[in-house]
Amino acid sequence: MSEKVFHDPFEKGRKSSRPIAHTNLSQNEILQERSINLFYVVYNGFYNDAERIMLVESKKNSDNLKKNLNKRVEEGGETLLHVACDRGYLNIVQLLVKQEADIDKKEFVSHRTALEYSVAQEHWDIALFLYEKGASIHNIDPSLKYKFMDLD
């Protein structure tokens, strides 16, 4: 069987830098596989892939997408939003918040929110974005709160 090249069906009118996949799988199988690997694409900062997966998932079942966005994906209880904030991916953070990821959810180990992750890594653009979207600063680590409030 020859290798198929699929281009993203949701990229109408936009230039795609690469095909969605080189594989022998069908388009539906590719999208299903991508849905399973949302953590992978967020972790690696693949915005276009994350956007595609969320679009497909929201068309199937938006409640299920919201549940998956707030699911804990790491041993310490981090969500996809924690991961994107820690790694400094503003565009993915914006996408996750738009899809209603819980901005004040705390992880298990240090009990930090996504805002605290972004401040700890000095991703100020993300910290300000989360604050503008309503992230709470009242219960965050005092040293991080000081760093954040010192931005003026």
Domain ranges of the chain: 37-149
- pLDDT at residue 95, as a whole number: 95
CA–CA dist 74, 91 (Å, integer):
21
- pLDDT, mean over the chain: 77
Q: Do residues 38 and 51 make contact, with C-beta atoms less than 8 angstroms apart? A: no
Give the model confidence (pLDDT) of 66-96 as tens digits: 787 888 877 778 999 999 999 999 999 999 9
Supply the DSSP string of 77-144, one letter for each residue: ---HHHHHHHHT-HHHHHHHHHTT--TTPPPSSS---HHHHHHHTT-HHHHHHHHHTT---TTS-HHH
* CATH no. for 37-149: 1.25.40.20
